[in-house]
Amino acid sequence: MNKQEAIKKILDQKVKQYNKIDFIEKDPICIPRQFKKQQDIEIAAFFAAIFAWGNRTTIINKSKELMERMDHAPYEFCMSHEPKDLKKIIGFVHRTFNTTDALYCIEFFKQHYKQNLSLETAFFQNHITGKKIKSVQEALTHFQTYFMSLEDAPKRTQKHVSSPLSGSTCKRLNMFLRWMIRNDKQGVDFGIWNGVKPSELIIPIDVHVARVSRSLGILERPQTDWLAALELTDYCRTLDPKDPVKYDFALFSLGVIEKYI
């Protein structure tokens, strides 16, 4: 057995161990899993993904808090709220995400869903030309521009929706796209979008995934940035060309749950 075969054997075993229903309870994906309506799933997943840095318990608790402030009906709240209802959002804070950011997101969703049935078009359809977007990199770049396109968009909110153009790993948005697009019938990811195939998704790389990847010798780039995300994803495609981001379960769990290395 050569090195690549050995790594594939280890990672495949970890995917099998963690890519299942039991994983949901302690992961931010448990937030959108509370909903049935697609628009509710999309909005709840977006917030849970955007909040996903730091302690997972805190991420989940803050996501639950925001859903409570939105009356456990995020789509209806965004579309039908009156000015007095927005008072429920005042005071919400999660790390650097504050009330201003939350209120802008709500207004963005309201304006977007007035013209679209799904948030998928915010990523995979150019809002000016109407043309389809066919790559994750282009989708992420477009989404940041589109997201910040409302009049009087607060500049501070842009940092919550990263773009490959800045060199960011776009970890949180790549995780959101994994949730929305990947579907292997294991009950974790939703698989409700088809803008790109699962084979084209990018690994949501963070410091933990990067550390494990470098220790395994499957990531050489010293910086943890967009190019590192591409390099790691390219390697994972050699292990499974159709579903490279399934290895997110293995690498993340090795780093965060098992404290590997």
What pLDDT, on a 0 to 100 scale, did the predictor assign at position 260? 60
* pLDDT higher than threshold 80 for residue 259: no
Say if CB 78 and CB 106 are below 8 A apart: yes
Full-model pTM: 0.96
What pLDDT, on a 0 to 100 scale, did the predictor assign at position 261? 56
Say if CB 143 and CB 173 are below 8 A apart: yes
What pLDDT, on a 0 to 100 scale, did the predictor assign at position 78? 98
* pLDDT higher than threshold 90 for residue 101: yes
Please write down the long-range contacts of 46-49, taking CB distance under 8 Å and 24 or more positions apart.
Answer: 46/105, 46/119, 46/176, 47/74, 47/105, 49/172, 49/173, 49/175, 49/176, 49/179
* pLDDT higher than threshold 80 for residue 113: yes
CA distance 74 to 53: 22
Which residues have C-beta within 8 Å of that of residue 36, sequence separation ≥ 6? none
CA distance 236 to 230: 10
CA distance 154 to 148: 8
CA distance 182 to 197: 8
The arithmetic mean of pLDDT across residues 13-18, rounded, is 95
